[in-house]
Amino acid sequence: MIRATCIVLAVSTLACQSRGGQPELTEVTGPIVDILVAASIDSRGHVIDPKLTFNPADPQVTVVVHVGKVTGSLLKLTWYQQKTGRDQKIFEHTIDVSSRDRAFSVGKNPGTLFAGNYKVTATLEGQTRDIRFAVAQQNAAATAANAAQRQQGQPPASGGSGAIPQPTPNVASPLGQPSGAFAPGLCIGGGDDDVCGVETSDSNADTVLIYVSNESPEVATVKAVVNGVSTNPRTVQGRSRTTSFSELDWKLNPCPGGSDLPGTQIHAYATLPSGRSVSTVGTLGEDTTLPMVSATFDPPPSRKIRGGQDIKIAVDATDEKTPGGSWQSGVQAVRVTGPDSWYREIDVPQQPCDPKKGFDHTWTYTVPPNPPPSFELCAQAKDYAKHRAKDSCATFYTALHYWKGTYEETEDTVTTGITHISRNLSVTFSLWSTSNGHLEGEADFKWSFGEDDVAGPCAGESISISPSPVKWHGRLTGQFTQRADGSVAMSNVKATPDSEAYTSIAHGVPRCPNSGQSTATTDRFLGFTSITVPKVGLDEPRPMTLGANEIGTRSKHLTITEQALQQ
């Protein structure tokens, strides 16, 4: 939550000042220094394209573990797919590792990656670390085709694994001359690759790796500076009678006192008493994950709503960083929306070192005197990286009765062994009561059709439609009667208008050259004109019989459910 000193209710380019305190350097002592997810790894053990979100078509996902000081052990990497609140194991790799190795485990794309959330657990010498990544659909507003593709996808399959040894640190610069991060006997670096270098990048929150190697006989002093605020100094021993060099990894938490916003630069320095000094600049990686928003409504959507009534919308938006996740830019704007283009919005200043990086607020929506039979209220949020959270929405009902339904009609038949017909009608609809026992409603229709001769003298001849499927929106009217047992008798239910115009295209063959096209519309269907809906609702599969000369399948399925509302 934004502290009172930072609240602004208008567009602002200012950022809240980081809270007081001092960043800290903490020595990494466990066998696992770091764990990363990337597109790949090169022959030196450097990660290629580190990221936490992948596309279904990406060829592979690579998990890389930076091994610390070990006695020579087996590293276990277990991959999980997260499904309905539980982790389902996919595969496991066991890798023989030594100190400072870069171990890797590859999950291959078996064709199309299943869109969802995944976790990899690393276990080594009693220490366990998790890292999570996601496979996202290419288009957040998924069409039915996208949804089908998602269901057809598969989780990553077991690929290669192994360990890449790291050479004994050579503190000379790559060109053999002292330069920036390198000086005789001393070098500094860190970040994702955890090696010496003038510039590094650290893609994973919530700490930054800083690496120092000291081959000199002197004790090196190490410190880091974030936004002008310095850490307390730490030391790295030099060579001794028993060791030719010393090397240490440090975890830097850039908060409090500094900044944990993406793009923040971390300046780190190592200095010897003789005056030699090296430095590196590490940059916090991009914000690659979505913020979150949730809304609580008072009264809740389970209650019937009246015209003139106030609905309070309590919104909580966060862009919280988690260990192993990306650095977070923070919530930039929070908005609530309603019918007839109603909205309210608050801009939120950036908040370095705020754990939540978010905002909470309560708005009031006043229902108009003559409200529609149903309406939707939504809470929305976006962050400074222009990622938009998944909306948090609720539907409210003002009608005395409100029903939702679906109707599906399918056919896949062949008649007399010659003519193949394939058709599908899919309808989602809503009906609500008005005065004097009348019904009104609306429906969304989707219809497809195809016909072709699979045998006979005109084999190959076909009829198709364009566009396919044909989609249209219709209005519903009818009457209803409430019965003593709680059921409802609906009658004279009609839909208007007919479908949008489509083109019927005939494709002839040489023996039957009946090619051509014409414009047409299809009738509107709901699967019923009169029906009795029980109090508990209706779920009615309707198998349809085939003719004597037909083979295949033909079926209908109708569902109608009343929205149970508290008065």
* Confidence band, pLDDT 50/70/90 cuts, at residue 127: very high
Residue type at 415 in one-letter notation: T
- Per the prediction, the chain carries an average pLDDT of 86
* Confidence band, pLDDT 50/70/90 cuts, at residue 564: confident
Give 301's contacts (C-beta < 8 A, 6+ positions apart): 394, 395, 396, 397
pTM comes to 0.72
Backbone torsions φ then ψ of 280, nearest 5 degrees: -145, 155
C-beta of residue 317 within 8 angstroms of C-beta of residue 381: yes
* Confidence band, pLDDT 50/70/90 cuts, at residue 33: very high
Q: SS3 of 152, please?
A: helix
pLDDT at 383: 95
Tell me how far apart the alpha carbons of residues 330 and 383 are, in angstroms, rounded to a whole number: 5
* Confidence band, pLDDT 50/70/90 cuts, at residue 212: very high
Locus of tokens 């990406």: 58
pLDDT at 172: 54
Residue type at 288 in one-letter notation: T
Give 228's contacts (C-beta < 8 A, 6+ positions apart): none
Strands (E), 256-373: 265-271, 277-284, 292-298, 310-318, 331-337, 343-347, 359-366
Tell me how far apart the alpha carbons of residues 541 and 554 are, in angstroms, rounded to a whole number: 11
Q: How far is CA 144 from the centre of its chain?
A: 18
Q: SS3 of 11, please?
A: coil
pLDDT at 179: 55
What digits encode the pLDDT tens for the residues 320-338? 888 888 999 999 999 999 9
Average pLDDT over residues 119-145: 78
Q: SS3 of 484, please?
A: coil
Give 241's contacts (C-beta < 8 A, 6+ positions apart): none
Is the pLDDT score of 375 beyond 90? yes
What digits encode the pLDDT tens for the residues 256-278? 888 999 999 999 999 999 988 99
pLDDT at 566: 67
Q: Tokens for 386?
A: 């222009």
pLDDT at 18: 47
What digits encode the pLDDT tens for the residues 157-168? 999 999 999 876
> What one-character-per-residue DSSP string does 57-123 give?
T-SEEEEEEEE-S-SSEEEEEEEEEEETTEEEEEEEEEEEE-TT-EEEEEEE-SSSBPSEEEEEEEE
What digits encode the pLDDT tens for the residues 1-29? 333 334 333 333 334 444 567 888 989 88
Average pLDDT over residues 544-559: 90
pLDDT at 501: 83
Least confident of 149-158, 234-243, 475-484: 149-158
Average pLDDT over residues 161-186: 70
Tell me how far apart the alpha carbons of residues 93 and 103 are, in angstroms, rounded to a whole number: 10
Give 200's contacts (C-beta < 8 A, 6+ positions apart): 189, 190, 191, 192, 193, 280, 281, 282, 283
Locus of tokens 């001849």: 461
pLDDT at 148: 44
What digits encode the pLDDT tens for the residues 240-249? 888 888 888 9
Average pLDDT over residues 56-83: 93
Is the pLDDT score of 140 beyond 80? no
What digits encode the pLDDT tens for the residues 289-298? 889 999 999 9
Average pLDDT over residues 405-411: 93
Residue type at 192 in one-letter notation: D
CB atoms within 10 A of CB 344: 15
The number of residues making up the chain comes to 567
Is the pLDDT score of 173 beyond 60? no
Angle CA 70–75–80, to nearest 5: 145
Backbone torsions φ then ψ of 210, nearest 5 degrees: -125, 130
Tell me how far apart the alpha carbons of residues 202 and 567 are, in angstroms, rounded to a whole number: 55
pLDDT at 384: 95
Nearest to 90 by CA among 109, 75, 74, 71: 109
Average pLDDT over residues 250-258: 88
147's enclosing H/E stretch is: helix 144-152
Q: SS3 of 566, please?
A: strand
More confident residue, 302 or 494: 494
